């Protein structure tokens, strides 16, 4: 039994399953497959072909690669816009022939040859673009026709120009340098390619037109509706593709100083395979130049290596075909199922063993025994305020709370019948605290730490802390800031409950039970936030102890309360003061008698405790059941518990029928009354405390009597 538990712990707590889900949330995740394929290909080929990785071999490969990648780049742009270009092989051949002819027969300068070559390529592209973009012909058929016609033109031209070119002889150092030269070991054509690729990458990912291209690929109709000139943009992608063929053709001409009947044949399949293998979606809208380059590297490396290994060209075609098929299948399946996969794999539960709690059943008469006192509260804002996670009162007894709409709502004393939206912040305002000047400090779920002055000036204090080096998810951002309190040193101590889930998914964090929460400290002097404690299991409420040197904080999913000393002789000490509670603790606040109030957001259930020991079962549950059917902690029953400095439990209040307060996330004592809030409730409760100091307020307890 024990070994089984250890095994389960080993499996689920030390193998970082959660990273898979985190990686999948990243946009670069798609590139992992082609990169892996490329790495494997290189390793295999390096073993099969002697000298595969030698500088000379790489340099030779690079020369051809340059031309190829330029064409891939052009086709990538066409495909990102949702099109396809089959005519690249023909255009490439024609451009190569023209470049050679210009240099050899006309004996014009080499740069002019490049210009003419690009111009001709662009013209062919423009023909494609006009037919497809403006006349709305099918891209596949149109470019197929251009492909056939282009080939015919090339063959005819070759008949006339082939022999004169072969007989001519030109002496141009620049022409030879572009064809054969290298800068160091890097071939010139590769340098050309690098320039083209960098420009194209910046164009696609950073420029307005580039974004328009992606937008059209993603949804042509929506792009049109947002005012993008779809016809023009689509047309331009083919022009770009044609121009790229022009550059590549020019480089080919320079390399071989001539063309043959086989030039550019089968190129379109190679290029198309490269794009798809790289992960550019055939449907458009999803892809990048980097993906195209990756695919190009894979395809050309395999292709050339097969030739070097002496395989028949049929084998070569076959391998390409198989790769294309696999890539297309993967592309379609992945595109359709990516979000489903993410949904399924994101929750990665860990093994947690909870100790048997003390019973809270009323008939067991323990210290925790819940009663129904909270069902006697007088209701404030019932049905009007939604989600008051925390409540607080100011000098004039006005009552403040957050709402799930991102507002801070203020109820006016003395009867709290009238209310107003004090300020609108956004996010989900959670924990509240007043500083010495009656400025309201707020933890806003999904946003960060904010302050609101009495004259309603909202200021963002902090939205990030230091990033840890090994986290896939950006844990610098504050994801679920939950509760805060202000220390005697003027710093704000607050909790960020989880780095894995957003504020509204807080309860799902319990199903996973992975301790990723943190206690942070914000220093108003420097404006910087620092991580104080990490790896906590949903740290929640924070409350300064009366000693002025330490604070209590609740760790919800562990059902315990810790105390941390932030200054004084014991600075840095962390101690658990209450453990194994039957309920999940939330906010903690001071009581008038020197003790502390703690809210219970829900109760532990035997089945859920057992489920926590079964990470595998929980994992299957999250994959096989819709979320509504998942087993949850019982957050339909909550309570308020009072404890002293030592952690002794003095009193427990509940609402067993769930009449007024099915769950409680906060309470605030003020002038003999207890104000009760709950994140999933639509009301605030006001309960008369019989034995409380009727003059005591939280603000005077912190900052002394107000003037």
Partner 1 sequence: MIIDEFFDRCLERIRTKAIVVPPLDGAMRPNNLLDESEVILGGIKCPDNAIVINDELWFSSKNQLFKLNVDARSDPQLIEGFEADISCMAASPDKGIAIGLEDARLLTGRTEGQALVDLVDHEALGCPSAMTFSSDGRLLVCQGSKNIENPTDMTRDLMQHGRSGSVWTHDFATGERSCIARNLGYPYGIVALSHSDEILVSECWQHRIIKLSLQGNRKPEAVFNDIPGYPARMIELSNSGLMLCLFAPRNRLIEFVLREHEFRKQMIDTIDPAYWIAPTLKSTQNFLAPLQQGGVKVMGIHKPWAPSLSHGMMVRLDQSQSPVESYHSRANGQRHGITSCCQIGHRIFATSKGDDCIIELSMNPGGQA
Does residue 605 interact with partner 1 by CB under 8 A?
A: yes
Q: Contact with partner 1 (CB under 8 A): which of 417, 626, 691, 705?
A: 626
Q: What is the token pair recorded at 23?
A: 């990686």
Contact segment (CB under 8 A) with partner 1 among 85-93, 459-467, 586-594, 655-663 equals 655-663
C-alpha closest to that of 253 among 127, 121, 352, 365: 121
Does residue 258 interact with partner 1 by CB under 8 A?
A: no
Environment class of 277 (CB within 10 Å of its CB; exposed 0-12, middle 13-18, buried 19+) = buried
Q: What is the token pair recorded at 98?
A: 């023209």
Does residue 409 interact with partner 1 by CB under 8 A?
A: no
Strand order from edge to edge, sheet including 492-496 = 481-486, 492-496, 517-523, 528-536
Does residue 123 interact with partner 1 by CB under 8 A?
A: no
Scan residues 488-527 and list those touching partner 1 (CB under 8 A).
507
Dihedral over alpha carbons 102, 107, 111, 113 (to 10 degrees): 0
Cis peptide before 303 (omega within 30 of 0): no
Scan residues 215-244 and list those touching partner 1 (CB under 8 A).
none
Instruction: Tell me how far the alpha carbon of residue 189 is from its chain's centroid.
Output: 37
Q: Contact with partner 1 (CB under 8 A): which of 631, 686, 696, 703?
A: 631
Q: Contact with partner 1 (CB under 8 A): which of 576, 636, 700, 706?
A: 636
Does residue 610 interact with partner 1 by CB under 8 A?
A: yes
- Distance of closest approach, residue 370 Cβ to partner 1, in angstroms: 8
Nearest-angstrom CA–CA distance, 556 and 601: 9
Q: Contact with partner 1 (CB under 8 A): which of 611, 612, 640, 667?
A: 611
Q: Contact with partner 1 (CB under 8 A): which of 205, 207, 576, 607?
A: 607
Helix axis angle, 230-256 relative to 188-206, nearest 10°?
A: 170
- Distance of closest approach, residue 662 Cβ to partner 1, in angstroms: 5
Q: Contact with partner 1 (CB under 8 A): which of 634, 671, 672, 701?
A: 634
Give CA separation, 688 vs 254, 377, 596, in Å: 92, 8, 17
Asked whether the beta carbons of 448 and 512 are under 8 A apart, the reply is: no
Does residue 468 interact with partner 1 by CB under 8 A?
A: no
- Distance of closest approach, residue 287 Cβ to partner 1, in angstroms: 29
Does residue 648 interact with partner 1 by CB under 8 A?
A: no
Helix axis angle, 313-346 relative to 615-624, nearest 10°?
A: 110
Count of Cβ atoms closer than 10 Å to residue 299 Cβ: 29
Scan residues 354-373 and list those touching partner 1 (CB under 8 A).
360-361, 370
C-alpha closest to that of 537 among 482, 465, 588: 482
What are the DSSP calls for 407-465, one per residue? Answer: EEEEEPTTT---EEEEEE--SEEEEEEE-TTSPEEEEEETTEEEEE-TT--EEEEESB-
Contact segment (CB under 8 A) with partner 1 among 202-210, 534-542, 544-552, 628-636 equals 628-636
Scan residues 52-81 and list those touching partner 1 (CB under 8 A).
none
Does residue 585 interact with partner 1 by CB under 8 A?
A: no
- Distance of closest approach, residue 510 Cβ to partner 1, in angstroms: 11
- Distance of closest approach, residue 12 Cβ to partner 1, in angstroms: 14
Asked whether the beta carbons of 616 and 12 are under 8 A apart, the reply is: yes
- Distance of closest approach, residue 23 Cβ to partner 1, in angstroms: 21
Q: Contact with partner 1 (CB under 8 A): which of 68, 590, 683, 699?
A: 683
Q: Contact with partner 1 (CB under 8 A): which of 482, 681, 697, 698?
A: 681
What are the two backbone dihedrals, phi and then psi, of residue 685, each rounded to the nearest 5 degrees? -105, 150
Does residue 606 interact with partner 1 by CB under 8 A?
A: yes
How many residues at the interface with partner 1, by CB under 8 A?
A: 42
Nearer to partner 1, 166 or 636 (CB): 636
Does residue 656 interact with partner 1 by CB under 8 A?
A: yes
Does residue 456 interact with partner 1 by CB under 8 A?
A: no
Give CA separation, 288 vs 75, 202, 293, 339, 526, in Å: 11, 10, 9, 20, 41
- Distance of closest approach, residue 556 Cβ to partner 1, in angstroms: 15
Nearer to partner 1, 58 or 656 (CB): 656
Nearer to partner 1, 271 or 511 (CB): 511
Nearer to partner 1, 164 or 616 (CB): 616
* SS3 category, 685: strand
- Distance of closest approach, residue 417 Cβ to partner 1, in angstroms: 19
Nearest-angstrom CA–CA distance, 150 and 263: 12
Nearest-angstrom CA–CA distance, 56 and 571: 64
Strands 673-677 and 186-187: unpaired
Contacting residues toward partner 1, per CB under 8 A: 360-361, 370, 383, 386-387, 507, 603, 605-608, 610-611, 614, 617, 620-621, 623-637, 656-658, 662-663, 680-683
């Amino acid at each position: 039994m024990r070994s089984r538990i250890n095994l389960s712990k080993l499996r689920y707590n030390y193998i970082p399953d959660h990273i898979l889900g985190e990686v999948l949330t990243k946009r670069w995740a798609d590139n992992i497959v082609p990169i892996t394929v490329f790495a494997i290909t290189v390793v295999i080929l390096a073993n099969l072909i002697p000298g595969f990785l030698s500088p000379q071999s790489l340099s030779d490969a690079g020369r051809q690669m340059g031309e190829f990648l330029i064409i891939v780049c052009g086709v990538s742009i066409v495909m990102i816009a949702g099109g396809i270009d089959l005519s690249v092989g023909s255009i490439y051949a024609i451009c190569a022939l023209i470049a050679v002819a210009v240099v050899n027969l006309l004996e014009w300068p080499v740069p002019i040859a490049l210009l003419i070559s690009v111009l001709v390529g662009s013209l062919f592209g423009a023909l494609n673009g006009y037919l497809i973009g403006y006349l709305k012909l099918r891209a596949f058929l149109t470019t197929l026709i251009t492909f056939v016609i282009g080939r015919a033109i090339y063959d005819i031209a070759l008949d006339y120009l082939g022999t004169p070119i072969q007989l001519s002889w030109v002496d141009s150092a620049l022409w030879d340098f572009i064809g054969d030269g290298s800068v160091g070991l890097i071939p010139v054509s590769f340098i050309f390619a690098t320039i083209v690729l960098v420009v194209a990458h910046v164009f696609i990912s950073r420029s307005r037109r580039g974004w328009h291209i992606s937008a059209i690929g993603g949804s042509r109709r929506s792009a049109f509706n947002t005012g993008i000139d779809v016809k023009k943009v689509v047309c331009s992608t083919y022009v770009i593709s044609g121009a790229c063929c022009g550059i590549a053709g020019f480089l080919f001409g320079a390399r071989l100083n001539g063309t043959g009947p086989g030039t550019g044949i089968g190129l379109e399949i190679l290029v198309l395979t490269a794009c798809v293998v790289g992960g550019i979606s055939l449907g458009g809208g999803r892809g990048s130049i980097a993906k195209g380059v990756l695919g190009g590297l894979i395809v050309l490396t395999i292709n050339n290596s097969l030739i070097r290994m002496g395989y028949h060209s049929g084998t070569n075609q076959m391998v390409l075909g198989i790769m294309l098929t696999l890539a297309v299948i993967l592309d379609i399946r992945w595109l359709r199922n990516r979000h489903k996969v993410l949904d399924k794999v994101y929750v990665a539960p860990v093994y947690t063993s909870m100790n048997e709690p003390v019973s809270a059943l009323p008939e067991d008469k323990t210290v925790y025994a819940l009663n129904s006192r909270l069902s006697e509260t007088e209701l404030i804002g019932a049905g009007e305020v939604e989600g008051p996670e925390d409540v607080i009162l100011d000098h004039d007894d006005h009552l403040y709370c957050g709402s799930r709409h991102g507002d801070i709502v203020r109820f006016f004393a003395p009867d709290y019948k009238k209310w107003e939206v004090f300020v609108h912040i956004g996010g989900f305002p959670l924990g509240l605290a007043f500083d010495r000047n009656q400025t309201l400090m707020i933890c806003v779920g999904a946003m960060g730490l904010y302050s609101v002055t009495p004259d309603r000036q909202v200021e963002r204090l902090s939205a990030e802390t230091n990033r840890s080096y090994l986290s896939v998810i950006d844990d610098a951002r504050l994801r679920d800031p939950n509760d805060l309190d202000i220390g005697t040193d003027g710093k704000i101590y607050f909790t960020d409950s989880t780095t894995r889930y957003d504020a509204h998914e807080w309860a799902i964090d319990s199903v996973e039970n992975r301790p990723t929460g943190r206690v942070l400290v914000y220093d108003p002097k420097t404006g910087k936030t620092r991580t104080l404690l990490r790896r906590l299991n949903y740290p929640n409420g924070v409350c300064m102890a009366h000693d002025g040197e330490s604070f209590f904080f609740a760790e919800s999913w562990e059902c315990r309360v810790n105390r941390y000393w932030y200054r004084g002789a014991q600075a840095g000490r962390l101690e658990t003061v209450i453990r194994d509670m039957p309920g999940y603790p939330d906010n903690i606040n001071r009581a008038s008698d020197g003790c502390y109030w703690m809210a219970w957001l829900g109760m532990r259930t035997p089945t859920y405790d057992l489920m926590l020991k079964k990470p595998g079962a929980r994992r299957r549950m999250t994959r096989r059941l819709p979320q509504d059917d998942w087993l949850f902690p019982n957050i339909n029953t909550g309570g308020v518990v009072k404890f002293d400095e030592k952690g002794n439990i003095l009193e427990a209040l509940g609402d067993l029928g769930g009449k007024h307060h099915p769950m409680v996330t906060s309470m605030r004592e003020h002038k003999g009354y207890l104000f009760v809030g709950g994140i999933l409730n639509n009301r605030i409760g006001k309960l008369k405390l019989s034995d409380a100091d009727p003059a005591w307020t939280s603000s005077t307890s912190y900052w002394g009597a107000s003037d």
